[in-house]
Amino acid sequence: MKTESRFVRTALLFIISAVMMPHSFFSQRPQKPVLYGKHWVAVTGKPIAATAGARIFMKGGNAVDAACAMIAATSTMWDTLGWGGETQALIYNPKTGKVIGVNALGMAPTGATAELYKSKGMKYPPEYGPLSAVTPGTPGGIFVMLAEFGKLSLKDVLEPSIEMADGYPMDAGTASVIERQKSWLKQWKYSREVMLPHTGREREGPVEGEIFKQADLAATLRKLVDAEQSALKAGKSRKDAIMAAYDRFYKGDIAKELVRGTKEEGGLITEADLAKWKVILEEPVSASYKGIDVYKLDTWTQGPAMLQALNILENVDVKSMGYNSPKYIHTVYQAMSLAFADRDFYYGDPYFPPAEPRAGLLSKEYAKERAKLIRPDRNDPDIKPGDPYPFQQGRNPFAALLEKWKNVPADSQTQAPPGTMAQNTPFGDPINGSFPDDNFYGGTTSVQAADAEGWVVSVTPSGGWIPAVIAGRTGIGLSQRAQQFVIDAADGPYNVIEPGKRPRVTLTPTLAFKDKKPYLCFSVQGGDSQDQNLLQFFLNMVEFGMNVQQATEAPNINSFQMRSSFGAHEIRPGRVLLANSTTKEVRDELTKMGYTFTFQERTSGPITAIYFDRKNGSMWGGASTHGDDYGIAW
- Tell me the pLDDT tens digit for each residue of 63-122: 999 999 999 999 999 988 999 999 999 999 999 999 999 999 999 999 999 999 999 999
Nearest Cα to Cα of residue 25 among 583, 539, 555, 545: 545
CB-based contacts of 3, cutoff 8 Å, min separation 6: none
Per-position b or e across 83-98, b if 16+ CB within 10 A of its CB? bbbbbbbbbbebeeee
User: Under DSSP, is residue 99 helix (H, G, I), strand (E, B) or coil?
Assistant: strand
Q: What local confidence, expressed as pLDDT, does residue 408 receive?
A: 66
Q: What local confidence, expressed as pLDDT, does residue 418 receive?
A: 44
Under the banding of pLDDT at 50, 70 and 90, the label for residue 30 is confident
Alpha helices in 212-357 (DSSP H): 215-233, 238-251, 253-264, 271-276, 303-313, 318-321, 326-346
Query: Is the per-residue pLDDT at 14 higher than 80?
Result: no
- What percent of the chain shows pLDDT beyond 70? 90
Query: Is the per-residue pLDDT at 413 higher than 80?
Result: no
Long-range contacts of 230-238 (CB under 8 A, 24+ apart): 232/153, 238/147, 238/153
Q: What local confidence, expressed as pLDDT, does residue 28 receive?
A: 58
Q: What local confidence, expressed as pLDDT, does residue 13 receive?
A: 36
What are phi and psi for residue 136, nearest 5 degrees? Answer: -60, 140
Under the banding of pLDDT at 50, 70 and 90, the label for residue 15 is very low
Rg (CA), the chain: 24
Chain mean pLDDT for the chain: 91
Indicate the residue type of 142.
I
Give residue limits of the domains in the chain.
Answer: 43-53+68-82+108-278+465-474, 282-459+481-633
**Lowest model confidence (mean pLDDT) among 419-428, 482-491, 534-543:** 419-428
Give tens-digit pLDDT for 581-629.
999 999 999 999 999 999 999 999 999 999 999 999 999 999 999 888 9
How far apart, in whole angstroms, are the C-alpha atoms of residue 184 and residue 374? 44
- Strand order across the beta sheet in which 517-523 lies: 35-37, 618-623, 608-613, 517-523, 510-514, 292-296, 285-289
How far apart, in whole angstroms, are the C-alpha atoms of residue 427 and residue 414? 14
Burial class (CB in 10 A: 0-12, 13-18, 19+), 514: middle
Q: What local confidence, expressed as pLDDT, does residue 421 receive?
A: 41
- N-terminal to C-terminal alpha carbon distance within the chain: 59
Q: What local confidence, expressed as pLDDT, does residue 10 receive?
A: 34
How far apart, in whole angstroms, are the C-alpha atoms of residue 481 and residue 552? 27
Q: pTM, whole model, 2 decimals?
A: 0.92
Under the banding of pLDDT at 50, 70 and 90, the label for residue 407 is confident
How far apart, in whole angstroms, are the C-alpha atoms of residue 309 and residue 162? 42
Per-position b or e across 568-585, b if 16+ CB within 10 A of its CB? ebbbbbbbbbbbeebeee
What are phi and psi for residue 319, nearest 5 degrees? Answer: -60, -40
Give tens-digit pLDDT for 536-553.
999 999 999 999 999 999
**Exposure of 61 in the CB half-sphere (CA atoms within 13 A):** 32
Task: Quote the DSSP letter at residue 470.
Answer: B
CB-based contacts of 361, cutoff 8 Å, min separation 6: 299, 304, 308, 342, 346, 388
How far apart, in whole angstroms, are the C-alpha atoms of residue 22 and residue 319? 9
How far apart, in whole angstroms, are the C-alpha atoms of residue 424 and residue 427? 9
Give tens-digit pLDDT for 177-221.
999 999 999 999 999 999 999 999 999 999 999 999 999 999 999
User: Under DSSP, is residue 522 helix (H, G, I), strand (E, B) or coil?
Assistant: strand
Give tens-digit pLDDT for 219-251.
999 999 999 999 999 999 999 999 999 999 999
β-pair type (596-600, 575-579): parallel
Contact 353, 496 (CB under 8 A): no
The CATH superfamily assigned to 282-459+481-633 is: Gamma-glutamyltranspeptidase, small (S) subunit (3.60.20.40)
Q: What local confidence, expressed as pLDDT, does residue 523 receive?
A: 97
Q: What is the mean pLDDT of residues 145-160?
A: 98
